[in-house]
Homo-oligomer: A and B are copies of this chain.
Amino acid sequence: MDPTERRRRHSGRTTLSDVALAAEVSPITASRALRGERGVAADLVERVKRAAEQLGYVPDPAARALASQRSTQVPVLVPLLSNALFVDVLEAVHRTLLPHGYQPMIGVTHYDPQEEEQLLRSYLAHRPAGLLLTGFDRTEAARQMIATSTVPCVYLMELTQAPNVYCVGFSQADAGHAITEHLVQRDRQRIAFVAAQLDPRTLQRAEGYRRCLREHGLYDARLELLSPQPSSMRLGGELLEDLLRTRPEVDAVFFCNDDLAQGGLLMALKLGVNVPGRIAVVGFNDLSGSDQMVPPLTTVRTPRRAMGEASAQMLLGLMRGEMPPRNSMDLGFEMMLRGSS
The answer to whether A58 touches B294 (Cβ under 8 A) is no
Which of A132-140, A231-239, A311-319, A323-331 forms part of the interface with chain B? A231-239
How far, in Å, is A197 (CB) from chain B's closest CB? 15
**A81 contacts B by Cβ under 8 Å:** yes
Given A11-B69, A105-B105; A126-B61 close (CB under 8 Å): yes
Cβ of A161: which chain B residues have Cβ within 8 Å of it? none
How far, in Å, is A101 (CB) from chain B's closest CB? 9
Cβ of A289: which chain B residues have Cβ within 8 Å of it? 233, 259, 262-263, 289
**A91 contacts B by Cβ under 8 Å:** yes
Cβ of A108: which chain B residues have Cβ within 8 Å of it? 91, 94
**A291 contacts B by Cβ under 8 Å:** yes
Complex Cα distance, B288 from A259, in Å, reads 10
Cβ of A81: which chain B residues have Cβ within 8 Å of it? 87, 90-91
Complex Cα distance, B231 from A289, in Å, reads 12
Cβ of A11: which chain B residues have Cβ within 8 Å of it? 69
**A59 contacts B by Cβ under 8 Å:** yes
Q: Which of A60, A71, A94 has the most CB of B within 10 A?
A: A60
The answer to whether A292 touches B66 (Cβ under 8 A) is no
Q: How many copies does the complex hold?
A: 2
How far, in Å, is A16 (CB) from chain B's closest CB? 13
**A266 contacts B by Cβ under 8 Å:** yes
Q: Which residue of B lies closest to A267 (CB)?
A: B292
Given A62-B65, A294-B266; A82-B71 close (CB under 8 Å): no
Cβ of A293: which chain B residues have Cβ within 8 Å of it? 266
Complex Cα distance, B173 from A105, in Å, reads 34
Q: Give residues 74-98 of A contacting B (CB, 8 Å).
A: 81-82, 84, 87-88, 90-91, 94
Q: Give residues 217-261 of A contacting B (CB, 8 Å).
A: 232-234, 237, 259
Cβ of A103: which chain B residues have Cβ within 8 Å of it? 105, 126
The answer to whether B94 touches A125 (Cβ under 8 A) is no
Bitwise interface map of A from 33 to 74 toward B, beta carbon under 8 Å scored 1, else 0: 000000000000000000000000011111101100101000
What 13 additional pairs, Cβ within 8 angstroms, besides A105-B105, A269-B269, A270-B294?
Answer: A11-B69, A58-B122, A58-B125, A59-B125, A62-B63, A62-B65, A81-B91, A82-B91, A94-B108, A104-B106, A233-B292, A263-B289, A263-B292
List the 8 closest A-B pairs by CB distance, nearest first.
A62-B65, A58-B125, A62-B66, A233-B289, A233-B292, A62-B62, A81-B87, A269-B294
Q: What residues make up the interface of A, taking CB atoms closer than 8 Å to B?
A: 9, 11, 58-63, 65-66, 69, 71, 81-82, 84, 87-88, 90-91, 94, 103-106, 108, 121-122, 125-127, 232-234, 237, 259, 262-263, 266-267, 269-270, 288-289, 291-294
